[in-house]
């Protein structure tokens, strides 16, 4: 069997996009005769199917970050979490301040050195043929580069999000970034484009900007849609039934620049135009706390009864279902699946990972996108509702259309055309074997 050294900081973290992007591919790599050896942080569940080494970072802020997630996974957010995490934070605080002043990189940066050290030892001990870094956390790529330079082994890199965040349409990413972390990422992108044997992004926009900055990338760079394989996705969907309320469900993270606030503004306009609708529409938010902008909009517009924040969906000890299994069930029971893209410039270079889970349902998707014709075409192909973040009127008009379709029991059935990680694995192996 061909041995791959897979480096992924968040490997096997239930429901985390940075984990699922690589873990969903594992069954198909195994089918193809790939023998994985995995390096990850301690934040996820140890995989027993193959050698899986869970490593602590070498820096204090990384230890605090990983320890907190380890405690949540092990004991939940109860007594032990409330006791241990503040204690560890206090003990590490002086070292974290020193690290921040001297180094100034993100918390997971020091995990690179732990992974690189272990990776170099494993390559000496075992017949590893290829290094595969997946991030997510950029520490995986820096570890991959360090191992590549030390051993000369073939290295492939999977870039989840753009490494250089552009601020406006005229910004092509050439000018030095402002923070230490952003400057390092800018440098790391160059190292990857120069030294990786193959590297891929998830959108054509991200690849185009990387090639613009690094022409030496050439044919080594390509695009792969990561797809998704959520548990239960092959099971028959329950027969959809209309209820007394229209449930618009959002899954995944929220932030001030990827907020449900534009939807709330549209709701307020609809309620003013047709007051009776206020009793009939609920926005369900799963998997994240509400962002500050959404909270402010809820209070200002008096929509507290119309937004239900359900928080992170964790493992259920009674049924034994994982958080991701429960989320798939919730997706399939929603009236509308809300896909928020954000209002930042680099939306042109990324597609929300949650969309790949959405495609495994036949529930209608409402995409609110930004500067990304590629994503728009994918959604239109799947008979989705489409609005644009920077066009409030399009959001309002789409909401009205959704309400009318729901009221008349004629919500569209989304075209069932999921994207499987099996296709991604085939594309990757075809490239590296050619």
Is 233 among the domain residues?
no
Same domain, 13 and 71: yes
pLDDT exceeds 70 at position 360: yes
Is 50 among the domain residues?
yes
CA-based nearest residue to 110, from 156, 142, 71, 68: 142
Same domain, 172 and 263: no
Of the pLDDT bands very low, low, confident and very high (cuts 50, 70, 90), residue 263 is very high
pLDDT in tens, 301-356: 999 999 999 988 877 778 888 888 999 999 999 999 999 999 999 999 999 999 99
For the ranges 231-245, 271-285, 388-402, which has the lowest average pLDDT? 231-245
Same domain, 198 and 305: no
Token couple for 197: 């044997």
Of the pLDDT bands very low, low, confident and very high (cuts 50, 70, 90), residue 1 is low
Please state the φ and ψ torsions of residue 346, each to the nearest 5 degrees. Answer: -80, 10
DSSP bridge pairs for 386: 367
- The arithmetic mean of pLDDT across residues 24-48, rounded, is 96
pLDDT exceeds 70 at position 397: yes
Same domain, 297 and 209: no
CA-based nearest residue to 144, from 270, 7, 20: 7
Same domain, 120 and 163: yes
Please state the φ and ψ torsions of residue 39, each to the nearest 5 degrees. Answer: -115, 130
Is 234 among the domain residues?
no
Angle, helices 79-102 vs 60-75, to 10°: value is 160
CA pair distance 376, 367, nearest whole angstrom: 8
pLDDT exceeds 90 at position 77: no
Same domain, 193 and 294: no
- The arithmetic mean of pLDDT across residues 386-413, rounded, is 97
The confidence score (pLDDT) of residue 149 equals: 98
- The arithmetic mean of pLDDT across residues 207-228, rounded, is 96
pLDDT exceeds 90 at position 129: yes
Is 241 among the domain residues?
no
The confidence score (pLDDT) of residue 311 equals: 87
pLDDT exceeds 70 at position 148: yes
Same domain, 209 and 284: no
Domain total in the chain: 2
- The arithmetic mean of pLDDT across residues 228-254, rounded, is 93
pLDDT in tens, 176-201: 999 999 999 999 999 999 999 999 99
Same domain, 209 and 323: no
Is 240 among the domain residues?
no
The confidence score (pLDDT) of residue 123 equals: 96
CATH code, 145: 3.40.50.2000
The confidence score (pLDDT) of residue 81 equals: 85
- The arithmetic mean of pLDDT across residues 14-39, rounded, is 93
pLDDT exceeds 90 at position 38: yes
pTM for the whole structure: 0.93
DSSP bridge pairs for 38: 6, 52
In which residue are the tokens 């995944």 written?
Answer: 252
197 CB-contact burial (10 Å; exposed 0-12 / middle 13-18 / buried 19+): middle
Same domain, 49 and 198: yes
Is 236 among the domain residues?
no
Same domain, 80 and 164: yes
For strand 198-201 and strand 154-159, is the pairing parallel, antiparallel, or unpaired?
parallel
Of the pLDDT bands very low, low, confident and very high (cuts 50, 70, 90), residue 113 is very high
- Spatial neighbors of 227 by CB under 8 A, at least 6 apart, are 24, 356, 418, 419, 420, 421, 422, 423, 424
Is 412 among the domain residues?
no
pLDDT in tens, 412-432: 999 999 999 999 999 999 999
pLDDT exceeds 80 at position 15: no
In which residue are the tokens 């520490």 written?
Answer: 139
Is 416 among the domain residues?
no
Same domain, 222 and 287: no
Range of the domain at 321: 246-407
- Spatial neighbors of 327 by CB under 8 A, at least 6 apart, are 15, 230, 251, 286, 287, 313, 357
Of the pLDDT bands very low, low, confident and very high (cuts 50, 70, 90), residue 80 is confident
The confidence score (pLDDT) of residue 95 equals: 93
State the chain's mean pLDDT as an integer: 94
Same domain, 213 and 260: no
pLDDT exceeds 90 at position 289: no
């Amino acid at each position: 069997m061909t041995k791959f050294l897979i480096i992924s900081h968040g490997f096997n973290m239930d429901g985390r996009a940075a984990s699922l992007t690589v873990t969903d591919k594992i069954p198909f790599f195994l089918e193809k005769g790939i023998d994985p050896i995995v390096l990850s942080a301690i934040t996820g569940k140890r995989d027993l199917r193959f050698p899986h080494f869970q490593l602590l970072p070498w820096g204090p802020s990384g230890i605090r970050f990983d320890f907190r997630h380890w405690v949540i996974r092990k004991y939940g957010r109860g007594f032990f979490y409330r006791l241990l995490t503040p204690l560890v934070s206090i003990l590490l605080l002086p070292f974290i301040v020193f690290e921040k002043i001297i180094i100034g990189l993100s918390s997971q940066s020091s995990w690179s050195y732990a992974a690189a050290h272990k990776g170099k030892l494993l390559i000496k001990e075992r017949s590893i043929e290829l290094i595969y870094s997946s991030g997510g956390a950029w520490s995986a790529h820096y570890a991959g580069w360090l191992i590549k330079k030390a051993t000369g082994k073939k290295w492939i890199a999977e870039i989840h999000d753009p490494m250089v965040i552009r601020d406006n349409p005229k910004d092509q990413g050439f000018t030095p970034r402002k923070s230490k972390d952003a400057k390092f990422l800018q440098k790391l992108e160059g190292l990857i484009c120069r030294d990786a044997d193959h590297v891929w992004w998830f959108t054509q926009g991200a690849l185009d900007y990387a090639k613009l900055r690094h022409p030496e990338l050439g044919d080594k760079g390509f695009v792969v849609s990561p797809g998704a394989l959520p548990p239960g996705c092959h099971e028959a969907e329950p027969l959809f039934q209309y209820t007394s309320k229209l449930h618009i469900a959002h899954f995944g993270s929220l932030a001030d620049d990827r907020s449900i606030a534009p939807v709330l503004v549209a709701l307020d306009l609809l309620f003013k135009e047709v007051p009776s609708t206020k009793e009939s529409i609920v926005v369900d938010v799963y998997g994240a706390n509400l962002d500050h902008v959404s909270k402010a909009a809820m209070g200002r517009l008096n929509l507290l009864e119309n937004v239900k924040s359900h928080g992170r969906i964790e493992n259920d000890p009674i049924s034994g279902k994982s958080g991701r299994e429960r989320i798939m069930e919730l997706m399939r029971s929603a009236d509308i699946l809300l896909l928020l893209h954000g209002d930042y410039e680099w939306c042109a270079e990324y597609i929300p990972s949650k969309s790949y889970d959405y495609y495994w349902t036949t529930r209608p998707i409402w995409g609110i996108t930004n500067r990304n014709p590629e994503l728009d075409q994918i959604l239109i192909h799947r008979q989705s509702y489409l609005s644009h973040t920077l066009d409030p009127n399009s959001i309002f008009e789409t909401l009205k259309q959704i309400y009318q379709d729901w009221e008349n029991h004629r919500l569209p059935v989304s075209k069932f055309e999921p994207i499987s990680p099996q296709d991604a694995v085939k594309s990757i192996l075809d490239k590296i074997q050619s």
